[in-house]
Structure 1
Amino acid sequence: MPAAPIAFDDLPSEVRTAIEAEIGEILKIENISTGLNSSLSARAYTDSGTTFLKGLRTDHRWVWTQQREADINPYVTPLAPRLLFHVIADGWNILGFEAIDGRHANYSRGSRDLPKVIEAMRRLGDVPCPDIELRQAEQRLSGYVDNPADAEAFKGDALLHTDWNNHNVLVADDRAHLVDWGWATCGAAWLDPAHWIIWLIAAGHTPEEAEAQAAKIAAWDEAPVEGVNAFAAASARLWTEIAGRAPDAWTGKLQSGARKWDGHRNK
């Protein structure tokens, strides 16, 4: 279930005071409506610059993703914007990041953003899994495979982003920046290109075209055929579960993309 949105001005005064204690007096707020994993999503303007704010209530079931983002940030900058502060006040958990003036990546066929995303994924591939609490890919997908042994192919020590929603890839300064690291995972290096394939198909690529983009990332060469087949099948089940009985436009596209890829891999 998406986090219920809240405007900055509707936060408790203690929370707003705690934020201003970190970044100074806020002169202007721009509430942002996009995003499913945060209740608060806003840009705060002060004399010293602009800060991107994201937050969840401390009793939200996904609040652990806030701590995950805080813990992983030192390991993924400058791929990701730098974390400026993390405060917990009056029932709210708030992160403040340096703001990036960019746009969401375009995943459509022929987009000039595709090479930038590929380069970001390559750079991420050079980052070892840090010694912090992270979910394991084989555990996250174990409930969606035919046989528990199939999930063994997902094991690995690579740091994975896993959520390749194009809204999580901001293009600025002629490169791609990765945001929203709450679902960072440790697993096989080929899994991030595999996750991306589904988003590419949802954006209009054929399964063959999407795999050709993934093949531009060296880690894809290490992907075992049966492991990829198992991942495609597991992803189709996962997105069907997420979409539910009445998928919206967003989840419907991802469900359709995952099913197309599963049909391509597991004919």
Structure 2
Amino acid sequence: MNSEIATTLDTRSGRIFVKGMNTDHPRVWTQAREATINPYVAPLAPRLLWRINDGTWDLLGFEHLDGRPADYHPHSDDLPLVAEAIITLSGVRAPVDPELKHIEQRLADYIDNPDDADLLRGETLLHTDWHPDNVLIVDHAARVVDWAWPTHGAAWIDAACWVVWLISAGHSPADAEQWAAYRRP
């Protein structure tokens, strides 16, 4: 989790999920990034209700999602729901934001030939961290949380990032790649 505090508040107007960091935390800037991209990732992500920065804490208050982490095991009913979320996200254009990194910057240490970076470039808004805890199943739909590291890149990258988690959950590499290539029926 990308926060020092993560809790649910029960308020008169309903439940709110709050995450935050002390303003002297070296990664407090991720709070602003997550707030900035929130309108672009609706309705996949919980709606940002408010942001408070009092000089000591930077807090984000989100719509509370009553769901459970996605199950990535073979034959799980969650797999098509997650695949649908990835397909939907692949159509979201990244906002123009100088603070938003490009995937070729994030992966620069893994690129031997600079020309290979062209394969990663794109203007799609990427999540890149498809850990099952970052995908909640709510009302028969996959909702994506923890947007601290949104990135510009090619539309296929989130599906490729999901492959690693599918293999970790027991899929063969070939089966995981089939799910990554999933298309709507």
Q: Normalising by the residue count of structure 2, what TM-score does the alignment of the two structures yield?
A: 0.95
Q: Which residue of 1 aligns with 2:173?
A: 207
Number of residues of Structure 1 aligned to a counterpart in Structure 2: 183
Q: Tell me which protein shows more strand as a share of its residues.
A: 2
Deviation digits for residues 163-218 of structure 1 (CA, Å, limit 9, x no counterpart): 10111101011100011111111101110101110111111111111101011148
Check the 8 A contact 2:4/2:21 in 1, yes or no.
yes
Q: Which residue of 2 aligns with 1:77?
A: 42
**Match of 2:129, SS?**
coil
More helix per residue: 1 or 2? 1
Larger radius of gyration: 1
Asked if 1:162 corresponds to 2:128, the answer is yes
Q: 1:151 aligns with which of 103, 117, 120?
A: 117
Deviations 1:85-109 (A, max 9, x none): 1111242110000100000000010
Aligned-pair identity (%): 53
Q: Which runs of 4+ in 1 moved over 4 A?
A: none
The SS at the match of 2:71 is coil
* Higher RCO (C-alpha under 8 Å, 6+ residues apart): 2
SS in 1 for 2:87: helix
Are the aligned partners of 1:76 and 1:127 in contact in 2 as well (CA < 8 Å)?
A: yes
Give the Cα separation in 2 of the matches to 1:217 and 1:57. Answer: 42
Answer yes or no: is the 8 Å Cα contact 1:121–1:217 preserved in 2: no
Which residue of structure 1 lines up, in the alignment, with residue 5 of structure 2?
40
Partner of residue 175 from structure 1, selected from 130, 141, 145: 141
TM (norm. structure 1) is 0.66
Q: Tell me, what secondary structure is at the counterpart of 1:69?
A: helix
The answer on 1:50 being equivalent to 2:5 is no
Pairing 1:95–2:60 present: yes
- 1:67-146 matched pairs, under 5 angstroms: 67-132=32-97, 133-146=99-112
1:227-252: CA deviation from partner (whole Å, max 9, x where unpaired): xxxxxxxxxxxxxxxxxxxxxxxxxx
Could you list the runs of 5+ residues in structure 1 that have no partner in the other structure? 1-35, 219-267
What is the one-letter code of the residue matched to 1:113? D
Per-residue deviation at 1:78? 1.1
Of residues 36-45 and 123-132 in structure 1, the stretch that sits farther from structure 2 once superposed is 123-132
